[in-house]
Amino acid sequence: LVPHYATSIADAWRVVEKLVSPELVLDILVAADGLTLARFCHPFQQFLNLTRPDYAPAKTAPLAICLAALKAMEEKFGGWKKP
């Protein structure tokens, strides 16, 4: 079976476990409007630059984690390139 990364917190946490390292941590919070905001960042940036454009917003935590993971990989590898 394919994991339900975007809808199951247990499956989304597998993504977190794969990406987290000494140089990359998950920063996740719930905004006043109820959206979950997530980003992967360097540990020193975790308490800096708390602007919304840095975060991936979503209605649920699993989806926010998945969007943040995609954003982190895009930043690391320079985005999608067609073959």
What are 56-75's pLDDT values in tens digits? 999 999 999 999 999 998 88
Least confident range of 2-6, 11-15, 20-24, 48-52: 48-52
pLDDT digit string, tens, across residues 10-36: 999 999 999 999 999 999 999 889 999
pLDDT at residue 45, rounded to an integer? 75
pTM of the model: 0.85
pLDDT at residue 10, rounded to an integer? 97
**HSE of 18 in the Cβ direction (CA atoms, 13 Å)?**
13
- The alpha helices in 20-60, defined as continuous H runs, are none
CB 31 within 8 A of CB 51: no
